[in-house]
Structure 1
Amino acid sequence: MKKHIPNIITLLNLLCGTIAVLFAVKNELETAAIFAFSGIVFDFFDGLAARALKVQSELGVQLDSLADMVTCGVVPGIVMFQLFNLLSDTSFGWGNENWLDKTGFAPLSVFGLFITLASAYRLAKFNIDENQVSSFIGLPTPANTLFILSLPLILSYQRNDLINSIIINKWFLIIITVISCYMLNSKIQLFAFKFKNWQLKGNAVKYFFLLLSLIGIILLKFAAIPLIIIAYVITSLVDGVALKNKKSS
């Protein structure tokens, strides 16, 4: 029975992701974010459960990626699609009014779905890459999803006119989409939150980052999430340089 526990947790991730898709399509982005966040939590614990119970399997690996494709691939793509749709100017001279009459959405909105394509490509590479056991190469899809989903939450709850004007800006969303697609499939090595034990030795960077994230969320609320993801990348790069220097010395 215990061998099925991680897969059940993975399926709960998929269930949350599917519900998030339904709400995202209806443009209820806050509710979609709640279910996607829940799916990401399940995604963390399925691997933890598999390692703790020593029941890792190839089926679990494939199922995990399929669930992530929905929760951390389809959902952020639709959310970005909806954010583009909020813009007042999304035409780029493409006959926006005629397009809107026929489809109900702006043509530029489709650009947000490139996040889904980039996520699919990353997950496919991850499944055949044997070098991503203790660390990640490129930004993990859950981290990217947290970044994207934080944007509508900031709009809804931070109530800061300056920040809102930045987020609801055509060029900002285009740049974020491009960076998102690049980071998902970049060669940048990032540390993974896979705890082999709970001791400080060997986990100092992870504990430091978790503490930093908690402080950021308390002080800045949802606005902290993009900063946490950026800090995650920077911390990984600094840690990588430190490890290289340690090995060479």
Structure 2
Amino acid sequence: MKKYIPNILTLLNLFCGTVAVLYAVLGHHQVAAFFVFAGIFFDFFDGFAARKLNVQSEIGLQLDSLADMVTSGVVPGMVMYHLLQLSLNPGSWDTGIRIDLSQPQGLIPFTGLLIPLASAYRLAKFNVDDDQQTSFTGLPTPANALFILSLPLILSYQDSELAVSVIGNTWFLVAVTLASSYILNSRIKLFALKFKTWGLRENAVKYGFLLLCLALLAVLKFAAVPLIIVLYILISVVTPQKYL
């Protein structure tokens, strides 16, 4: 029975991602974000369970990537499409996703769909790369999904004119889409939050990063999420690999 536990967790990730797709289409970003966060939670623990139970398998690896493609690839792409649509038509916040090709600018929201394409390519590379056991090459798709999903949450729950003006800007959203699509498939080495031991000295950077995350979330709430992802990349780049 224990060999099925990781795959059940992976399927729960896929279930959450599928539900998130439905809410993203309707324009309910907050609910979609909740299910994406839940899916990422299951995504973290399916690998943890597989390692602890010693039941890692090839089918589990493939299933994990398929689930991630939906939860951390398709959903953020659809949310970005909708954010771009809303940036072009600010008065339509309460409407769901729609396609309007009556004007040339109606093509701009399709830029957001680069995120699922880049995510698919990143996940395919991960599946055939044996060099990503203790670190990642390129930004993991769940981290990118957290970045994208945090944007509508900042708009909804944090009263900031600066946030509204920045996140509501079409070209800022296009820039975020292009940057995230690139970083997903870049050759940047990023540390993984996997602990072989629980010692403080050998995990100082990871513990320090987790404490920093908690502090930022306590102070900035949802606005901390994009900052955390940027800091994750910067810390990985500037810290010598032997300390990660």
Same fold (TM over 0.5): yes
Distance 2:150 2:49 in 1: 27
Q: Determine the structure 1 residue equivalent to 2:188.
A: 188
Distance 1:120 1:240 in 2: 29
TM-score (norm 1): 0.90
Note the residue ranges of structure 2 that are not aligned, 5 or more in a row. 91-98
Q: Structure 1 159/64 Cα, relative in aligned 2: closer, same or farther at 3 Å?
A: same
The alignment status of 1:163 with 2:163, answered yes or no, reads yes
The alignment status of 1:2 with 2:2, answered yes or no, reads yes
Q: Determine the structure 1 residue equivalent to 2:151.
A: 151
Give 1:196 deviation, angstroms.
2.0
Give 1:225 deviation, angstroms.
0.2
Give 1:198 deviation, angstroms.
2.4
Q: Determine the structure 1 residue equivalent to 2:65.
A: 65
State whether residues 9 and 42 of structure 2, in contact with CA within 8 Å, keep that contact through their aligned partners in structure 1: yes
TM-score (norm 2): 0.92
State whether residues 205 and 243 of structure 2, in contact with CA within 8 Å, keep that contact through their aligned partners in structure 1: no
Deviations 1:200-245 (A, max 9, x none): 232221111111000000000000000000110111112236659x
Distance 2:47 2:239 in 1: 24
Deviations 1:93-148 (A, max 9, x none): xxxxxx72769x93211110100100000000000011111100000000000000
Q: Structure 1 178/101 Cα, relative in aligned 2: closer, same or farther at 3 Å?
A: closer
CA RMSD of aligned residues (A): 1.9
Deviations 1:18-37 (A, max 9, x none): 00000001110110000000
- The residue correspondences of 1:34-183 to structure 2 (distance < 5 A) are 34-88=34-88, 100=100, 106-183=106-183
Give 1:67 deviation, angstroms.
0.3
Distance 1:131 1:194 in 2: 15
Give 1:170 deviation, angstroms.
1.1
Distance 1:235 1:178 in 2: 22
Instruction: Count matched residues.
Output: 235
Identity of aligned residues (%): 60
State whether residues 89 and 170 of structure 1, in contact with CA within 8 Å, keep that contact through their aligned partners in structure 2: no
Note the residue ranges of structure 1 that are not aligned, 5 or more in a row. 91-98, 245-249
Which amino acid in the other structure matches residue 230 of structure 1? Answer: V
Distance 1:149 1:101 in 2: 25
Distance 1:242 1:196 in 2: 14
Distance 2:34 2:173 in 1: 22
State whether residues 202 and 243 of structure 2, in contact with CA within 8 Å, keep that contact through their aligned partners in structure 1: no
